[in-house]
Chain A
Amino acid sequence: MLKTFTNTFKISFTENANSFIYFLRKIPKIGGRISETLYKQTKDKFIIGIIREILGILGGFLIKGLYLGLMIILPSYLMTKNIEQILPEFLHIFFFLSFILGSIMETIIFDSINKSAFNMIRLMRVEPRKYYLSQIIYKKLENFICFILPMIVIGKIIGFSTMKSIVLILELTAFKVMGEGLQLFIYDKTGKIINNETLILSIIIIMGLAFAYALPFLGLTIDFYTILFNIFVEITTLILGILSYIYIWKYRSYTKIAKSILTKEHLFDVEDFEENLNFGDVKIDEKKINENDLNIDIYNKKQGYEYLNAIFFKRHRRILVTPIKIRVLIIGIVFLVSLGFLMFMPENKVKFIQRIKNGGPILVFAMYMMSTGERICKAMFYNCDVKLLRYGYYRESNAILSNFTSRLKRVVFLNIIPALVLCLAIIGITIFSGSGFQVMGMAPLFVSILCLSCFFSIHHLFLYYVIQPYTAELTIKSPLFKFMNFIVYMISYICLQIKTSSSYFALGVILITVVYMVVTLILTYKLAPKTFKLR
């Protein structure tokens, strides 16, 4: 097993070094000076590999630190308003997010997009059992190391000892191994992979998040300090972790798992894979299509790119329209729950409406989560553009722009539906709670919702046309693209924390989004003919 591990490590080491060299060579100006012969220099590569590894660990500290800071400390602080008193909330949220959700959702064995597993098992013919066993130890150890430093620092701030930090992370690691074992057990008994059961997974996630954030928000913080640092709990947890690893150790059918999970289709984009599945549905329809009901009549009048996109959106309606339906459904449920809340607790009406009126900042984040722009762009690329961009006529600037316009209309149209429903829901709640006279005053809020919806649709399409992050091999994405997306995400997320009078905020949002939309449209029309191409 040790040999498997060192071999795996060597290969991922070399691979990391190679991709690091590749990355360095792509940096403008400096990149040109790095010779391609570096790929041949095994010795230099070793050093590069080590640099890359150190950077990786530093990055790990940073990521875990950010995770703890943004997902746990920040909300705890917002609830208690006193950094020295957040310990109970911190442990409560940390337990549900990391111990429970993390253990159930994280998986090494059932990770179908693990490229290294694919390479080692499918291409290099390593025995799956040895691979998984060594990887579980390695990854959990890595996780342990990356967590320990930020946790000790946090412990110093919010008041628990270094020893306690280590115990906490040890327990977490034991939980993660248990999670791994549990998933394997479920698969063994039922043949189901939790991570592929969207419904179950969504329920677990929603429940987990509710327990993590809603309970302390309502003042029902569980005292995990006494629980987790109780000596019996500590020992039991560790023993259960070890037993889980023994179970994983004794399990024999890894080859079967590897065969069904590590396939080329899985390895490319998960979402792409989903799209292909959805495309499979289209294929079934195909049999029903005959000359008479070929919909030719519907689209016959459309020409060129309008015709192309009309058919594209029709054939992909499952991918494109279903998410919209789900969003409308969620808004509907939230609407009904709110009505129920108001019905049973009418004394909160005024406060509730006030909350909504000042809800502008939260809406930014909500609208970000609701936008389907990126998914649509991906579908466009994989199922349409990756092929047609090979043709000269499709790359002509007129063609790109009329195609862009035709798509923009449709994407905005699709995304504005849930936005409108949201506006209606808010109006409904306001009227129901007897504050109907306030609806007019909420106009800026509604306009900002609609603006945000357009903004996110345009934003994704703009990035797609101007950066075009996807490659024909469906693998590498542009760092710039990720960065831009991250920025927008961060801004949306930060908006959650803003406390300001609603109408100013709404006006600000309207102003910013409108300006952004105008600028990006102009930029797209200027740049896309040059930038929209295959990489």
Chain B
Amino acid sequence: MELILKELEKSFGEKYVLKKASFRFKKGKIYGLLGRNGAGKTTLFNCISGELEQDNGMIMISKNGQIEEKIEYSKVGYVFSEPVLPEFLTGYEFLKFYIDINKDKIENLLTIDEYFDIIKISEEDRYRLIKGYSHGMKNKIQMLCFLITRPPVILLDEPLTSFDVVVALEIKRLIKEIKSNHIIIFSTHILQLATDLCDEIVLLHNGVLEEVDSKLLKSPEFEEKIMEILKEGNNA
């Protein structure tokens, strides 16, 4: 399975954010999407998830040689950098609602409590309003959503920054565990996280996507190289 981006273009007024960005993301790999502030990482994710419509270009999924041109929303799981959850529900109620709504897309349904056990949210917290949750807890609930529905494409927008060390490690492990069945794209500007977790690094720079040679990922000059590329053409 592949996620294919073909000559994506997106502009806001006269500001061109994506300029014919093309890429093929493959199943079983974790991609680190690197880019400077305002490079358009979130815009790219919003286009893939269908929240925004691109001006030009195509987003497709190919599976066993068959190409799906219009991606169904349920194929993409999106974890926002700022958690977005209805605060008047308790964690438990939100999950029940979420599972109800997506019932027909879930394989191997567990009980709600089992799901909570996975992300280690305590019995007590499950029955509290989400409004009172910490940033990290809200993020865990968001992560849980894609663990439940297991969409083929998972987009993570700056996901680990708000977790404490223990949870971050757990989530990292979790992501590595499930990666064989998914295309995981992970945006961050923390280089270390990218080298740690990702199999491939993709740079979003000047509106286009370019892959960084994976050999470079393990090499000592990696940081310098990335810096070099990201600073390039910045004056333009």
Q: Is the CB of B73 within 8 A of A393?
A: yes
Q: Which residue of B lies closest to A392 (CB)?
A: B73
Measured between beta carbons, the chain A residues less than 8 angstroms from B85 are 387
Residues 104 to 128 of chain B near chain A (Cβ within 8 Å): 123, 127-128
Measured between beta carbons, the chain A residues less than 8 angstroms from B129 are 282-283, 286
Q: Is the CB of B96 within 8 A of A307?
A: yes
Of the candidates A279, A290, A294, A392, the one whose C-beta lies within 8 Å of that of B76 is A392
Interface string of A26-69 (1 = CB under 8 A from B): 00000000011100000000000000000000000000000000
Quick check: is A334 within 8 A (CB to CB) of the other chain? no
Q: Is the CB of A390 within 8 A of B51?
A: yes
Are A291 and B88 also in contact (CB < 8 A) when A36-B13, A36-B14, A283-B129 are? no
A393 to B100, CA, bound (A): 11
Quick check: is B67 within 8 A (CB to CB) of the other chain? no
A294 to B96, CA, bound (A): 13
Are A388 and B14 also in contact (CB < 8 A) when A393-B101, A396-B73 are? no
Q: Is the CB of B100 within 8 A of A387?
A: no
Residues 366 to 404 of chain A near chain B (Cβ within 8 Å): 383-384, 387-388, 390-396, 399
B90 CB, nearest partner CB in chain A, Å: 7
Quick check: is B180 within 8 A (CB to CB) of the other chain? no
A307 to B49, CA, bound (A): 26
Q: Is the CB of B86 within 8 A of A388?
A: yes
Q: Is the CB of B84 within 8 A of A286?
A: no
Quick check: is B102 within 8 A (CB to CB) of the other chain? yes
A37 to B14, CA, bound (A): 9
Measured between beta carbons, the chain B residues less than 8 angstroms from A290 are 127
B154 CB, nearest partner CB in chain A, Å: 13
Q: Which residue of A lies closest to B89 (CB)?
A: A311
Quick check: is A335 within 8 A (CB to CB) of the other chain? no
Q: Is the CB of B49 within 8 A of A392?
A: yes
Quick check: is B74 within 8 A (CB to CB) of the other chain? yes
Q: Which residue of B lies closest to A399 (CB)?
A: B101
Q: Interface residues of A: mostly helix, strand, loop or mixed?
A: helix
Measured between beta carbons, the chain A residues less than 8 angstroms from B50 are 392, 395
A308 to B90, CA, bound (A): 11
Interface string of A75-91 (1 = CB under 8 A from B): 00000000000000000
Are A387 and B123 also in contact (CB < 8 A) when A283-B131, A283-B132, A289-B90 are? no
Q: Is the CB of A286 within 8 A of B73?
A: no
Quick check: is A312 within 8 A (CB to CB) of the other chain? yes
Q: Is the CB of B131 within 8 A of A289?
A: no
Q: Is the CB of A308 within 8 A of B97?
A: yes
A393 to B97, CA, bound (A): 12
Are A390 and B100 also in contact (CB < 8 A) when A36-B13, A289-B90, A289-B128 are? no
Q: Is the CB of A311 within 8 A of B76?
A: no
Are A383 and B127 also in contact (CB < 8 A) when A390-B80, A393-B101, A399-B101 are? no
Measured between beta carbons, the chain A residues less than 8 angstroms from B73 are 392-393, 395-396
Quick check: is A196 within 8 A (CB to CB) of the other chain? no
Q: Which residue of A lies closest to B126 (CB)?
A: A291
Q: Is the CB of A282 within 8 A of B88?
A: yes
A249 to B220, CA, bound (A): 68
Q: Which residue of A lies closest to B123 (CB)?
A: A291
Q: Is the CB of A294 within 8 A of B132?
A: no
Quick check: is A315 within 8 A (CB to CB) of the other chain? yes
Residues 260 to 317 of chain A near chain B (Cβ within 8 Å): 279, 282-283, 286, 289-291, 294, 296, 303-305, 307-308, 311-312, 315-316
Interface string of A230-252 (1 = CB under 8 A from B): 00000000000000000000000
Q: Is the CB of A311 within 8 A of B93?
A: yes
A117 CB, nearest partner CB in chain B, Å: 28
Q: Which residue of A lies closest to B15 (CB)?
A: A36
B102 CB, nearest partner CB in chain A, Å: 6
Interface string of A405-419 (1 = CB under 8 A from B): 000000000000000
Most chain A CB within 10 A, of B49, B101, B129, is at B101
Measured between beta carbons, the chain B residues less than 8 angstroms from A391 are 78, 84
Are A387 and B92 also in contact (CB < 8 A) when A286-B128, A291-B127 are? no
B50 CB, nearest partner CB in chain A, Å: 6
A301 CB, nearest partner CB in chain B, Å: 12
Q: Which residue of A lies closest to B88 (CB)?
A: A315
A391 to B76, CA, bound (A): 10
Q: Is the CB of B92 within 8 A of A294?
A: yes
A282 to B129, CA, bound (A): 9
Q: Which residue of B lies closest to A302 (CB)?
A: B100
Residues 186 to 232 of chain B near chain A (Cβ within 8 Å): none
Quick check: is B69 within 8 A (CB to CB) of the other chain? no
Of the candidates A304, A311, A392, A395, the one whose C-beta lies within 8 Å of that of B88 is A311
Measured between beta carbons, the chain B residues less than 8 angstroms from A305 are 101
A296 to B93, CA, bound (A): 8
Are A390 and B131 also in contact (CB < 8 A) when A289-B90, A311-B93, A396-B73 are? no
A290 to B126, CA, bound (A): 10
A311 to B89, CA, bound (A): 7
Quick check: is B55 within 8 A (CB to CB) of the other chain? no
A44 to B51, CA, bound (A): 36
Measured between beta carbons, the chain A residues less than 8 angstroms from B84 are 387, 390-391
Measured between beta carbons, the chain A residues less than 8 angstroms from B68 are none
B137 CB, nearest partner CB in chain A, Å: 14
Q: Is the CB of B87 within 8 A of A383?
A: yes
Q: Is the CB of A307 within 8 A of B92?
A: no
A-B contact pairs, 18 of them (CB 8 A): A35-B14, A37-B14, A283-B132, A286-B129, A286-B132, A289-B90, A291-B127, A307-B97, A312-B88, A384-B86, A387-B85, A388-B86, A392-B49, A392-B51, A392-B76, A393-B74, A393-B102, A395-B73
Given pairs A279-B131, A291-B127, 16 additional interface contacts (CB within 8 A): A279-B88, A286-B128, A286-B129, A289-B90, A294-B127, A304-B97, A307-B100, A311-B93, A384-B86, A384-B88, A387-B84, A390-B84, A391-B84, A392-B50, A392-B74, A395-B73
- Across the A-B interface, the 4 shortest Cβ-Cβ residue pairs: A392-B73, A304-B100, A315-B88, A390-B84
